[in-house]
Amino acid sequence: DAGITQSPRHKVTETGTPVTLRCHQTENHRYMYWYRQDPGHGLRLIHYSYGVKDTDKGEVSDGYSVSRSKTEDFLLTLESATSSQTSVYFCAITPRERGTDTQYFGPGTRLTVL
Amino acid sequence: GQQLNQSPQSMFIQEGEDVSMNCTSSSIFNTWLWYKQDPGEGPVLLIALYKAGELTSNGRLTAQFGITRKDSFLNISASIPSDVGIYFCAGQEVGTASKLTFGTGTRLQVTL
């Protein structure tokens, strides 16, 4: 257990509305990641953070923004949700002592955009 | 971006059988990881490999880091019903610090 929680765990929203997903960790890990998981695509990186206020884009970042104002929280925002953003979203961390390779995942948020 | 080729995509086996699955890439990797995901949950790390040729076990699971650094293998011995799930490989490509590439998964189903 890497001490990761995600909220909400499930959300249904309408097209065009803003949505924010939260990832919270309790063990002071430096690296945090947001992924989406879709059938046939596996896990794809949206954005990641390597410290407070330090973030970078992943391979599928269009339509998403992130913020990290505290070490323990990494927020993913869909400014104007679209049906193509219906997915399961996972947060992950890399333990500080392990460097930048091994990642541990949270329980996920299932988002449905109608 | 690169994707990892994971095979087989799915497999049905009987309880007690051994299982093998593999993952290949077109690039050289520094790290290979194997995860298992149960329905409605996040992936759980099973085995991590950091050196070419490395063979690592975790209970009935054994994984190997291919000598070419472009592939990895996962074996499950004497499968049991709780082995059901989706197994993902992931790797860190040389020159891509902080990022992993994932395979599309092998769905394992075990019959009694």
pLDDT in tens, B21-31: 999 999 999 89
Select from B30, B97, B102 the Cβ nearest to the Cβ of A43.
B102
Q: Does B56 touch chain A (CB under 8 A)?
A: no
Question: What pLDDT score does A96 carry?
Answer: 61
Query: In this complex, do B42 and A107 lie within 8 Å of one another by their Cβ atoms?
Result: yes
Length of chain B: 112
Helix (H) or strand (E) holding B108: strand B106-111
Query: In this complex, do B88 and A43 lie within 8 Å of one another by their Cβ atoms?
Result: yes
Contact status, residue A35 vs residue A108, Cβ threshold 8 Å: no
Q: Which residues of A touch B36 (CB under 8 A)?
A: none
Question: What pLDDT score does A98 carry?
Answer: 54
Residue ranges of chain A with pLDDT lower than 70? Answer: 1-2, 96-100
Select from A45, A50, A105 the Cβ nearest to the Cβ of B43.
A105
